[in-house]
Structure 1
Amino acid sequence: MHKFCEYYFVCTSPWTYLGHQRFVAMAEKYQIEVRVKPMNLGQIFPASGGLPLAKRATQRQTYRLFELERWRQWIGLPLNIHPKYFPADDRLAARCVIAANESLGSKAALALAGAMLKAVWADEANIADEQDVRQVIEKLSMNADELLTGASTDAAHARYEANTQEALQAQVFGAPWYIFEAIPYWGQDRLDFLERAFAASQQA
């Protein structure tokens, strides 16, 4: 039976960045289709009681830095704890990922999402800036003009809003968020459990 995993994320989340490569590799290993769903976390937080980083208690902000350092060392990914362009408006980047998904397929969309995340957390790029987004796309040898044009369409805007509404309906409250066989998994630190579910699904 065909299996799929819904992947809700934002292109500015360090936790999405830390888990992205591993998640993509897992999906490929177990031949799980990934349904790529960049969403607007700014709409998710108010509906779920979440707060943007700047509004969280000092204790939470401080502990977050320890966790980022801990996971950066454990996973071995380059990550700037205090990136130059964070927080950033990731809506253009998200719609470019949507455009890639529509025109090139999920594999290309996942590659572009990973590149956008790396741009923020490792390369000090501003994904709210069209020129920086263009450079990210071109580094993957994708057609930047086509994807930027696609990102500006009503269809891309509508898909982005639909992803967000679907996330709300699925009771998503953070990123990354994975849903497999109707079971939610929040955070890259749940990937071990998700992989077990992927593996178990192969036995069914």
Structure 2
Amino acid sequence: MTQIRFYFSTLSPYTYLAGTRLEEIADKHGASIDYKPLDIAGLFGRTGGQPPKDRHPSRQEYRLIEMERQAKKLDLPLNLKPAYWPTNPAPSSYAFIAAQNAGSGDLGKLHHAFTRAVWAEERNIAGDDVIRDCLQSAGFDPALADSGLLTGAETYAQNLEDAVSEGVFGAPFYITSDGARFWGQDRLDDLDQHLEDIA
């Protein structure tokens, strides 16, 4: 079975704009998904990128134009300047990892719930109540918000190391079992075609 390693940040607008299309593509091709939430600021620092606030004003301006354009194209609500961005992504990432280890709900719905909370619902995903609500909405026990914190921290750190070693430099980033790499939600069609080609 083909596996897709999915590197993402619970704060990433482009992970939000990807929606659950990755899950649809994986289901279509009988592929599994290895979800790898990571520290996007740490990734930028390790791979030569810059946080949006540190980019040239022209880049900052175009980023917002492109985000709005993509949201309209995908018919997704989007607040370009959300009230709780940036916020601490670690608590939601640890909760995601706990949910992944528990294995009872829908991980695709969960990563989208976290990113939607930031970019469409004006909610702070560093808050325990928001994390619990997102877990429950994706079919997980809300109590997972309080469990596996050490494992979550260790896995979160390891995901960053894995990302750097695999040539990942942004989010969302998809890597297939044969090593093909795809950066950005706007490359999901290319990922879909690649899986078709190697079937």
Range class of TM-score, shorter chain:
over 0.9
The whole-number CA distance in structure 2 between the counterparts of 1:72 and 1:151 is: 34
Match of 2:171 among 175, 194, 200: 175
| Aligned partner of residue 175 in structure 2, secondary structure | strand
Per-residue deviation, 1:74:
0.5
| Aligned partner of residue 6 in structure 2, secondary structure | strand
| Aligned partner of residue 77 in structure 1, secondary structure | coil
Pair 1:161-2:157 in alignment: yes
Matches within 5 A, 1:12-161: 12-104=11-103, 108-145=106-143, 147-152=144-149, 154-161=150-157
The whole-number CA distance in structure 2 between the counterparts of 1:175 and 1:141 is: 25
The whole-number CA distance in structure 2 between the counterparts of 1:130 and 1:165 is: 27
Q: Is the 8 A contact 2:175 2:181 kept in 1?
A: yes
| Aligned partner of residue 179 in structure 1, secondary structure | strand
| Aligned partner of residue 170 in structure 2, secondary structure | coil
Per-residue deviation, 1:141:
4.1
Q: 1:151 to 1:120 in 2, by over 3 A?
A: farther
- TM-score of the aligned structures, taking structure 2 as reference length: 0.95
Per-residue deviation, 1:129:
1.3
Counterpart in 2 of 1:196?
193
Per-residue deviation, 1:34:
0.3
Q: Which runs of 5+ in 1 are unaligned?
A: none
Q: 1:151 to 1:108 in 2, by over 3 A?
A: farther
The whole-number CA distance in structure 1 between the counterparts of 2:110 and 2:130 is: 13
Q: Is the 8 A contact 1:92 1:151 kept in 2?
A: no
Q: 1:82 to 1:151 in 2, by over 3 A?
A: farther
Among all aligned residue pairs of Structure 1 and Structure 2, give the percentage whose two residues are the same amino acid. 33
Q: Which runs of 5+ in 2 are unaligned?
A: none
Q: Is the 8 A contact 2:110 2:137 kept in 1?
A: no
- TM-score of the aligned structures, taking structure 1 as reference length: 0.92
What amino acid is aligned across from residue 166 of structure 1 in structure 2? D
Q: CA RMSD in A?
A: 1.3
Q: Is the 8 A contact 2:47 2:169 kept in 1?
A: yes
The total of aligned residue pairs comes to 198
The whole-number CA distance in structure 2 between the counterparts of 1:196 and 1:129 is: 39
Per-residue deviation, 1:42:
1.8
Per-residue deviation, 1:151:
4.2
What amino acid is aligned across from residue 13 of structure 2 in structure 1? P
